[in-house]
């Protein structure tokens, strides 16, 4: 192919990110960059207590303060029937507290003033009298029948939210009864928070003259937010325009609807002026969508050689005060039942019980793929426990138990149909590339000298691309996604998608997909996302669903355009449609390759010279309802050295071999992997949000809740295998969350491997140096 033609086949190439020039130069347009004429500012009054009755709320002093236009209390919202709002999980949540507060930093009142400073100063003047109640912070204690009932609004008089299970209980029990080997491990995945650089915020702009509300918001799912807003407020959906401008990091934190959003909208409706609300860092960490907090127990039944038979998992999930986990409706524990992972278990039984506690709500965030993070961490950790028990090398054990490539499509015991994979190939590449045998030799030598070196493996399976509408919906709305492509007469393209990126590079990768389908250059294709007035309906970007859903829509929409283009080509080439061939860049008449027309020629003709009877123009919309999810996988290996004096763990090497099917843009996939590994590293070694017994949040800022700097972060090595998805239009699987899903287990397995000579079998995250130091002391290493 000539060079110019190579450029017109951009799929699979590391095309530079089109969005970077504006991001790198500080020219992104984020929510706080939006300034409208007459705009007011809102600040929220929050509860200092985790659990308390509200005796009274007196806004009078705040109303007297300079610049203050309005104070909204829970009682004001109750009068409008807005004191509570539905959550995506089918629960309800207080917008502003009435009666009692259920977590520290809960929203109690909103103060709106001419400036942000005035609003914040006046918020201090709202007089709230509380009567403190005992707090329940531990989800296991919360499920005790004697625990105080937190949610007095519910009929059910307990803190139990839901029981959910998957798999065959009887068949699993049977295999456990007769199994030669059973291992059991308690594993906690701590409460963490994605802590995006840009916190949440919005500008609500209600125009009474037109009755239209324009709501600028840091949203990963603008259409879903518009529909929810319409259902809650009663405003007609076409009179609401949701615009999600550049999003400064989402990571699942920008999927839920937060009380501050509703208050800003109510304030704009009441005052007829735009109202801006931007969270502080502390507000973001303490009150918005956290992640994980799963207390899990796993048991594996196996043969003596480590061949697995059955997996049994029991989990207590801490959801905080309201169940606002943004899972698909039918999945209260997300996709956690993928917990059998990459291994061919005959049977499995998985249970999850949700509990209310006096903490902020959430649970679905931080590159979690709807709880696959918890599942992958658990199974990868426990496979190592099994390996140690049966005395088999953890790489070898995994190979014995892998689902083999001939078994795909693979039916898992908890009901998933894995689309494709080649686990052994991926692990082999990783072992070879890291020099596994050499490393084990080095480790043996070091162990003989009393040094602590560890090697940790994680061979995870992901499940992304929610999803097929027969199973996946949020609040009843089916989870397909969409693309719309418009070719202008000069052959330039405007394409809009129903998803909304937050830094993942869609402006480049979706342009690549469409350019590839149309034989154009990526430069010719402009991607727009995030405006509900213009983009086709779609459920947004999270759970690594954009490529599996909207990516499929983009490719099929391009093919729809090409179908029409072919008809125009036949007219221009004066050849029968059956004699017109597409070579990826242009159409020509069969046997006459010199006579050809490009998509640019056809675009012009679509507006100037269509065949008689054909509708002019060249545009199409495609709603893609995927037949299945996609199942990316990976083999990650961490090598660590532990300093016996300080307990500090040094990650000497980390190799991630990912398989996300066909790759659209290798550089962008590497970037996604680097970012997710950095987050997985932070979770393994430095992040946790603890609470004291009164429910005080002990890490609501970046002094106590740590985010890794470039100095902390290890060097990442990456590689890839390619097992295309058989059902996706371009064979791609999602990848955005894989590194966070797969890496924590590799880090922890490496640390446990280093400490194994001391008899250590498990250590819960986060692995702070002091924790390791204490383990060393307990085992007599440090006195």
Q: Residue 735, interface with ligand MCN (CB under 6 A)? A: yes
Interface with ligand MCN in residues 515-554 (CB under 6 A): 541-547
User: Which C-beta is closer to ligand MCN: that of 357 or that of 672?
Assistant: 672
CA distance 689 to 289: 12
Q: Which of residues 527 and 605 has its CB atom nearest to ligand MCN in the complex?
A: 527
The DSSP code for 103 is S
By CB under 6 A, tell whether 367 contacts ligand CUM: yes
Residue 262 has which token pair? 């509703």
Q: What are phi and psi of 70, to 5 degrees?
A: -165, 145
Asked if 720 touches ligand MCN (CB under 6 A), the answer is no
* 206-233 core/surface letters (b: 16 or more CB in 10 A; e: else): beeeeebbbbbbbbbbbbbbbbbbbebb
Tell me, yes or no, if 198 is annotated catalytic.
no
The interface with ligand CUM within residues 531-550 (CB under 6 A) comprises 542-543
The listed partner (ligand MCN, ligand CUM, none) that binds 552, CB under 5 to 8 Å by sort, is none
Q: From start to end of 469-541, where are the E strands?
A: 473-474, 477-478, 481-487, 493-497, 525-529
Contact between 691 and 359 under an 8 Å Cβ cutoff? The reply is yes
Taking the complex as a whole, the smallest distance from the CB of residue 467 to ligand CUM amounts, in Å, to: 12
State both tokens at 42: 């809102």
| Sign for the pseudo-dihedral over CA of 614, 620, 623, 624 | positive
Nearer Cβ to ligand MCN, position 459 or 672? 672
CA dist 542 and 247 (Å) reads: 13
- Pick from 324, 332, 287, 353: which is nearest to 101 by CA? 287
Task: Identify whether the C-beta of residue 741 lies closer than 8 Å to the C-beta of residue 450.
Answer: no
Indicate which of ligand CUM, ligand MCN, none lies near residue 249 (CB less than 5 to 8 Å, by partner kind): ligand MCN
737 catalytic residue (yes or no): yes
Residue 633, exposed/middle/buried by CB under 10 A (0-12, 13-18, 19+)?
buried
Among 84, 343, 366, 773, which residue interacts with ligand CUM (rule: CB under 6 A)? 366
Name the active-site residue from 191, 312, 367, 496: 367
Q: How far is the CB of 463 from ligand CUM (least distance, A)?
A: 12
In whole angstroms, give the CA distance from residue 266 to residue 288: 20
Give 237's Cβ-side CA count (13 Å radius): 10
Q: Is 368 part of the annotated catalytic residue set?
A: yes
337 lies in the site for ligand MCN, by CB under 6 A: no
Does 479 engage in binding with ligand CUM (CB under 6 A)? no
Find the catalytic residue in 200, 202, 263, 368: 368
Check residue 368 for interaction with ligand CUM (CB under 6 A): yes
> How far is 276 from 111, CA to CA, in rounded Å?
11
CA R_g for the chain: 28
Closest distance to ligand MCN from the beta carbon of 241 (Å) = 23
In terms of CB distance, is 456 or 742 closer to ligand CUM? 742
Q: Which stretch binds ligand CUM (CB under 6 A): 250-258, 263-271, 378-386, 410-418?
A: 250-258
The count of chain residues that interact with ligand CUM, using the rule CB under 6 A, is 12
364 binds, among ligand MCN, ligand CUM, none (CB under 5 to 8 A by kind): ligand CUM
Residues within window 219-248 making contact with ligand CUM, judged by CB under 6 A: 220
* Nearest distance, CB of residue 542 and ligand CUM, angstroms: 3
Nearest distance from C-beta of residue 54 to ligand CUM, angstroms: 33
What is the token pair recorded at 386?
A: 């099994």
364 touches ligand CUM (CB under 6 A): yes
Exposed/middle/buried for residue 76 (C-beta within 10 Å: 0-12, 13-18, 19+) = buried
306 sits in the region (left: phi over 0; alpha: psi -120 to 50; else beta) called left
Question: Which listed residue (661, 695, 700, 724) binds ligand MCN by CB under 6 A?
Answer: 661
Q: Is 196 in the site for ligand CUM (CB under 6 A)?
A: no
Q: List the catalytic residues.
A: 220, 367-368, 737
Give the binding site for ligand CUM (CB under 6 A): 220, 250-252, 255, 364-368, 542-543
Q: Given the rule CB under 6 A, which residues bind ligand MCN?
A: 249-252, 367, 501-506, 509, 541-547, 660-665, 668-669, 672, 675, 732-737
């Amino acid at each position: 192919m000539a060079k110019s033609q190579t450029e017109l086949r951009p799929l699979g190439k590391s095309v530079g990110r089109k969005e970077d020039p504006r991001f790198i130069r500080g020219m992104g347009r984020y929510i706080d960059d939006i300034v409208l004429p007459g705009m007011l500012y809102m600040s929220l009054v929050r509860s200092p207590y985790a659990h308390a009755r509200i005796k009274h709320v007196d806004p009078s002093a705040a109303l007297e303060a300079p610049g203050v236009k309005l104070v909204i209390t829970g009682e004001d919202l109750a009068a409008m029937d807005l004191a509570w709002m539905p959550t995506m999980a089918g629960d309800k949540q207080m917008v502003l507290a009435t009666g009692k507060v259920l977590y520290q930093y809960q929203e109690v009142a909103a103060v709106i003033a001419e400036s942000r400073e005035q609003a914040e100063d006046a918020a201090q003047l709202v007089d709230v009298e509380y009567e403190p109640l005992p707090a329940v912070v531990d989800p296991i204690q919360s499920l005790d029948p004697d625990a105080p009932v937190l949610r007095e609004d519910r009929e059910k008089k307990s803190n139990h939210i839901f029981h959910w299970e998957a798999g065959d209980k009887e068949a699993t029990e049977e295999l456990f009864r007769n199994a030669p080997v059973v291992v059991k491990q308690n594993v906690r995945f701590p409460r963490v928070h994605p802590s995006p650089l840009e916190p949440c915020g919005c500008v609500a702009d209600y125009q009474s003259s037109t009755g239209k509300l324009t709501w600028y918001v840091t949203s990963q799912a603008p259409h879903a937010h518009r529909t929810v807003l319409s259902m809650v407020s009663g405003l007609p959906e076409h009179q609401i325009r949701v615009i999600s401008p550049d999003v400064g990091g989402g990571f699942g934190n920008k999927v839920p609807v937060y009380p501050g959003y509703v208050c800003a909208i109510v304030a704009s409706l009441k005052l007829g002026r735009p109202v801006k609300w931007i969270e502080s860092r502390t507000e973001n960490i303490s009150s918005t969508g956290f992640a994980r907090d799963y207390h899990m127990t796993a048991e594996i039944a196996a043969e003596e050689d480590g061949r697995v038979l059955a997996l049994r998992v029991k989990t207590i999930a801490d959801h905080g005060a309201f169940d606002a986990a943004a899972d698909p409706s039918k999945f209260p524990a997300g996709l956690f039942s993928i917990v059998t992972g990459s291994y061919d278990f005959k049977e499995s039984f998985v249970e999850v019980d949700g509990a209310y506690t006096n903490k902020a709500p959430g649970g679905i965030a931080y590159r979690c793929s709807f709880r696959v993070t918890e599942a992958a961490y658990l199974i990868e950790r426990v496979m190592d426990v099994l390996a140690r028990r049966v005395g088999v090398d953890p790489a070898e054990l995994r190979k014995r138990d892998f689902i083999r490539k001939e078994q795909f499509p693979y039916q898992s015991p908890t009901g998933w149909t894995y689309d494709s994979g080649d686990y052994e190939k991926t692990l082999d590449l990783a072992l070879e590339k890291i020099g596994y045998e050499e490393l084990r030799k080095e480790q043996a030598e070091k162990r003989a000298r009393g040094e602590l070196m560890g090697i940790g493996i994680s061979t995870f399976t992901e499940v992304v691309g929610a999803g097929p509408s027969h199973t996946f919906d949020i609040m009843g709305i089916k989870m397909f996604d969409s693309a719309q492509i418009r070719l202008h007469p000069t052959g330039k393209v405007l394409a809009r998608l129903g998803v909304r990126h937050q830094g993942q590079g869609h402006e480049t990768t979706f342009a690549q997909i469409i350019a590839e389908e149309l034989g154009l250059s990526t430069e010719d294709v402009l991607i727009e996302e995030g405006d509900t007035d213009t983009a086709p309906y779609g459920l947004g970007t999270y759970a690594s669903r954009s490529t599996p859903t909207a990516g499929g829509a983009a490719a099929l929409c391009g093919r729809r355009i090409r179908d029409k283009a072919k008809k125009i080509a036949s007219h221009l080439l004066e050849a029968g449609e059956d004699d017109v061939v597409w070579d990826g860049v242009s159409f020509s008449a069969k046997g006459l390759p010199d006579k050809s027309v490009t998509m640019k020629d056809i675009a012009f003709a679509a507006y100037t010279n269509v065949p008689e009877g054909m509708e002019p123009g060249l545009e199409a919309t495609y709603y893609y309802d995927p037949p299945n999810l996609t199942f990316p996988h990976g083999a990650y290996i961490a090598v660590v050295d532990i300093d016996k004096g300080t307990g500090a763990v040094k990650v000497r090497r980390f190799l991630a071999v990912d398989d996300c099917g066909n790759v659209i843009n290798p550089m962008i996939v590497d970037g996604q992997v680097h970012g997710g590994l950095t987050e997985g590293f932070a979770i393994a070694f430095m992040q946790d949000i603890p609470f004291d017994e009164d429910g005080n949040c002990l890490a609501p800022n970046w002094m106590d809740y740590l985010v890794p700097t470039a100095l902390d972060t290890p060097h990442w090595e990456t590689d890839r295998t390619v097992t295309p998805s058989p059902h996706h239009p371009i064979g791609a699987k999602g990848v955005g969350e894989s590194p966070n899903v797969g890496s924590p287990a590799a880090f922890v397995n490496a640390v446990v491997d280093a400490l194994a000579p001391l008899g250590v079998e498990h250590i819960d995250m986060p692995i702070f140096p002091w924790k390791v130091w204490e383990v060393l002391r307990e085992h007599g290493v440090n006195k």
